[in-house]
Amino acid sequence: MTKWAPERKDTIAALADEILHNYGRGRVVVAIDGPDGASTGDFADDVATALRSAGHSAFRASITDFQRPRAERETRGADSAEGYYRDSFDYSVLRRVLIEPFRLGGSTAFVTAAFDASRDAQIEPKWLTAPDDSILIVDGVFLNRPEIAGLWNYSVWVDVTRENTAGADTTEAEADRQNAAQALYRKEVGPRTRATAIIDNTDNLHPRRSFADSC
């Protein structure tokens, strides 16, 4: 029997409607979490577009733009899965220049990107302001780890039901590192059980909401 496959736009629209129903007023921060191969960035972009189409202010950021310098990221070795999981991102900077000022509201400015990993250099800050009722969507890996899980009003786990969850166009060594880091994250945190919503994005043209886990 052929399984029903929802259109991507319908799944995205339903998720955006749920977020607006519960968090349509004030400053709200949403996490789009998932393994490296789950296309969390594209999914978060589409949610932001759906929110804007509904007439709501939405901003985007990615944890990849809050990485630490290479020397700090690779303290445990360039191929270390534990190093990727524990040392990659500067959560204090994320809080200080993005999450905390965004939540303050009013004329307080915030920055949606702080570090360019390809240049291994800080990004010149571009300060933004937002309306009182605005949603910030942050995508990336490891977003429900204990240090930052409390930052989100709502979190989505974007799942891919395949053994290899590494990002596209990665080397075999990098894929092994990403997969091992995700295994460590799942063991320590159980991100599926921490998420408000779970989306199976194995077929990214037909993502579907999953209710298999308590969340």
pLDDT of residue 1: 44
pLDDT of residue 214: 44
> Using CA atoms, how far apart are residues 61 and 31, in angstroms rounded to an integer?
10
pLDDT of residue 211: 78
pLDDT of residue 161: 75
pLDDT of residue 80: 96
Per-residue pLDDT reduced to its tens digit, 140-197: 999 999 999 999 999 999 998 765 566 566 789 899 999 999 999 999 999 999 999 9
pLDDT higher at 204 or 143: 143
Helix (H) or strand (E) holding 17: helix 8-23
Q: What is the mean pLDDT of the chain?
A: 92
Per-residue pLDDT reduced to its tens digit, 7-23: 999 999 999 999 999 99
> Using CA atoms, how far apart are residues 18 and 22, in angstroms rounded to an integer?
6
Domains of the chain are 8-39+47-64+131-210 (3.40.50.300)
**Residues 6 or more apart whose Cβ sits within 8 Å of residue 25:** 133
pLDDT of residue 212: 56
**pTM here?**
0.92
What does the buried/exposed string (b/e) look like for 31-49 if buried means 16 or more CB atoms within 10 Å of the residue's CB?
A: bbbbbbbbbbbebbbbbbe
